[in-house]
Amino acid sequence: MTNYMFAYHGGDQPESPEEGAKHMTNWKKWVADLGDAMVTPEVPLGMSKTVSSSGVADDGGANPILGYTVIAAESMDAALKIAQACPFLAMNGTIEVAEVRQMPG
C-alpha cells in the first residue's frame, strides 16, 4: 500500500446549520467506510503565506490549501476513486491527489 495526500481547495461554506450537519454526517460516513485506508483524517489549515526567494506574500497563494487527508491505496487510480467519493466535492471544492514519497536515507 502507498500513502496518498488529498489537498482540499475551495469549496462553499454550508448555508445553514442543517446543511453543515448533513455535510459532517456524510464526511464521517466516508471516513468510516474507508476503514484502515484512512491514515490521517482531515486536518484543517488556517490562512497560508507564500514564501519565495523575493520574500513573503500574505495572499495565501493562488489556490490555498484548506486542509489535507492521507489515505492508503493500492495505486494512484485507487486513490483517485476514493477522492471522487469524497463529500467535499459536493461543496464545489476540488481535491489535489499526490503520492507521499519517502526521502531516501
The CA-CA-CA angle for residues 24, 5, 105, to 5°, reads 145
CATH number belonging to the domain at 2-48+61-99, selected among 3.40.640.10, 1.20.1580.10, 3.30.70.1060, 3.40.50.300? 3.30.70.1060
Categorize the per-residue pLDDT at 102 as very low, low, confident or very high, splitting at 50, 70 and 90: confident
Specify the higher pLDDT residue, 27 or 49: 27
Categorize the per-residue pLDDT at 27 as very low, low, confident or very high, splitting at 50, 70 and 90: very high
The model's pTM is 0.87
**For residue range 29-84, what is the model confidence (pLDDT) as tens digits?**
999 999 999 999 889 998 888 888 989 887 766 778 899 999 999 999 999 999 99
Burial class of 73 by CB neighbour count within 10 A (0 to 12, 13 to 18, 19+) = buried
**65 bridge partner residues:** 9
Taking 90 as the threshold, does the pLDDT of residue 23 lie above it? yes
Q: What residue segments make up the domains of the chain, in order of their start?
A: 2-48+61-99
Cβ-contact 50, 17 below 8 angstroms = no
